Chains A and B, each alone.
Chain A
Amino acid sequence: MRLARGVRRGGFTLIEMLVAMAIFMVFTGIMITSYMSIVKALNGAEEYRILYAEARHIFDVMTDSARGGVVYPEERFPCNAEFSATDSSSVVKVVLANSKFAPRETELEFCAKDGLNKVKFTFDDVSEDGGLVMTEYTRSNLDENFIGKEVDLYSDEVRVTSFSFYVWPLKNPFSSENFGSSNLANTFHPKVTFSAVFEKDNPRGGDPFELQLQTTISLRTYN
């Protein structure tokens, strides 16, 4: 059967089709963009959650150690048995940068008052993993040497890109050496400032997620 020419049939014109497709495409575009932004935000949230958890863990471990520990001036350090033999310059394991005023350190050790336990935090800025290591030392009353157990404070996912300990004062700032005639020996109260930058790679490319934390703890035990 042959259709007669010029007979108008109930289809769509080209213009109608084009308009319909344009509207459909615009609408689909909006839908896809919305979906993508939700997915992106969800992924970012997951990264931040991991970053938050790990950074918080590290800081809580450190602030707890600071609250329970002592930073001793060199000559009175009760935990020095192990170190005095090997490395006399770092008896105080807050390795002094030849200044008693706000040295910036990458290694810090807190010692229990009885001298039987200590915790050492070491940050190795050369390490690409973000090598922040905690070493827990214990010894018995009779033993001079400590037994150390290393605990990595970094994971594969979160790097510690920088870590500093600022301890002030380490030596008595009010000693006669510094303070003329009046010697108020050993009457100072140290504080420790922790300053750190944590980083987590963005698995989908782009800038890594970064979190910088800083806090200060006033040591609870008097020197």
Chain B
Amino acid sequence: MEFQRFKKLLSSVASNKSGFTLTEVLVGVLVLSVSIVTTTNFLVSMIRSNLANTTSLQAYYYTQEGIEAFRNMRDTHFMHNVNYRGGGVGFWGALGGFETDGPYTVGLNLAPSPIASGENISGSASWKLSAGDVHENVKFYKTTGDISDTDFKRSCVVEDYEVDDVAEGNAVLVTCMTFWEEYGRDREVSLSTILTDWKHE
């Protein structure tokens, strides 16, 4: 009798009664797969942040280029004894300067035309400075001389800035920003510098 009971118990264990159905297993596998794939994607995107580092390095240098543009313009204005922000009348007015109003788009002008007598001097400007929030893509100058659009956009803002010992209106805070999109997210690098009119008495 004991043996009969044991046999019955054994057969009930061996049968499918206490196991999983195929549907249950499939759902289980599905859930596990989804979680593994999600975790993997997360890990991979974490690891890919190194790639993002190189992209922000590019953006950093483009931003620096924007800042240097304003410094270069200021210094060029110094050399010509015009207001450090440029503008005004005459040739330098035609070249255009920067005021403390709103964003500017600044780009390289690597092929400025030679200045012939009587020609518009703006043709000689080494920078393309335009007011307004128009974000042109930054240009990359290839060795071959080709110019290609990058995926970056740059915008610079000039603001009044107060510095000790510098008369009001003789210092500006220039902030340049470079924007780009990465894996569907907006990213940005921003740099600032203070430019003063140290030539001003």
A residues sitting closer than 8 Å to B (CB atoms) are: 10, 19, 23, 26-27, 30-31, 34, 37-38, 41-42, 44-46, 48-49, 51-52, 55-56, 59, 63, 100-102, 104, 125, 162-164, 166, 168-169, 173-174, 178-180, 184, 187-189, 191, 193, 195, 197, 211-218, 222
User: Interface stretch among B58-66, B166-174, B179-187?
Assistant: B58-66
Interface contact A184-B80, CB-CB below 8 Å:
yes
Interface contact B61-A215, CB-CB below 8 Å:
yes
Nearest A residue to B63 via CB reads A215
Bound-complex Cα distance A30 to B34 (A): 9
Bound-complex Cα distance A197 to B144 (A): 12
Q: How far is the CB of B156 from chain A (nearest CB, A)?
A: 13
Bound-complex Cα distance A165 to B37 (A): 47
Given known pairs A195-B140, A216-B69, the reply for A48 and B51 (CB within 8 Å) is yes
Which residues of the partner chain A approach B47 to less than 8 Å between Cβ atoms?
38, 41-42, 44-45
Q: How far is the CB of A160 from chain B (nearest CB, A)?
A: 10
Total A-B pairs in contact (CB under 8 Å)?
156
Nearest B residue to A47 via CB reads B50
Interface contact B62-A215, CB-CB below 8 Å:
yes
Given known pairs A169-B126, A218-B72, the reply for A52 and B112 (CB within 8 Å) is no
What are 20 of the A-B contact pairs (CB < 8 Å)? A30-B33, A37-B44, A38-B43, A45-B48, A46-B50, A48-B53, A49-B53, A55-B57, A56-B57, A100-B114, A102-B111, A102-B112, A168-B126, A173-B115, A189-B79, A193-B141, A195-B142, A214-B58, A216-B68, A218-B75
Which residues of the partner chain A approach B108 to less than 8 Å between Cβ atoms?
166, 193, 216
Nearest B residue to A102 via CB reads B110
Whether a CB of chain A sits under 8 angstroms from the CB of B134 is: no
Whether a CB of chain A sits under 8 angstroms from the CB of B116 is: yes
Which residues of the partner chain B approach A34 to less than 8 Å between Cβ atoms?
36-37, 39-40
Nearest B residue to A104 via CB reads B145
Which residues of the partner chain B approach A63 to less than 8 Å between Cβ atoms?
64
Q: How far is the CB of A151 from chain B (nearest CB, A)?
A: 22
Instruction: Please encode chain B, from 129 to 151, with 1 for each CB lying within 8 Å of some chain A CB and 0 for all others.
Output: 00000000000111111000010
